[in-house]
Amino acid sequence: MDTERHGRHRVVDGGRAPDCAELLTGSLTAIRDGHDAHLSDGVPAVLGHGGRSFADYARGASAAWA
């Protein structure tokens, strides 16, 4: 099954425009495939300190969601 195509159809069936569905599924596919898996060297420059992974953030914020 072509999951990207299936996802795009589900988004359109949910009432979104086809171009919106294309953008959303393309972005999610890129994330799933690991294209944004690493922090860039710009993060420390913007934040003033090193970045952290989402897993580290989730562990630190988990009490807020309990």
- pLDDT tens-place string over residues 3-41: 888 889 999 999 999 999 999 999 988 888 888 777 678
Q: Residues with Cβ < 8 Å from 16, sequence gap 6 or more?
A: 24
Return the pLDDT at 59. 92
pTM: 0.52
Least confident of 35-39, 43-47, 49-53, 60-64: 35-39
Same domain, 25 and 45: no
**For residue 56, is pLDDT > 80?**
yes
Count of structural domains, the chain: 2
Is residue 1's pLDDT more than 60?
Answer: no
Which residue segment(s) compose the domain that 30 sits in? 1-35
Same domain, 27 and 4: yes
Is pLDDT of 60 > 80?
Answer: yes
Tell me: do 1 and 30 sit in the same domain. yes
Residues 53 and 27 occupy one common structural domain:
no
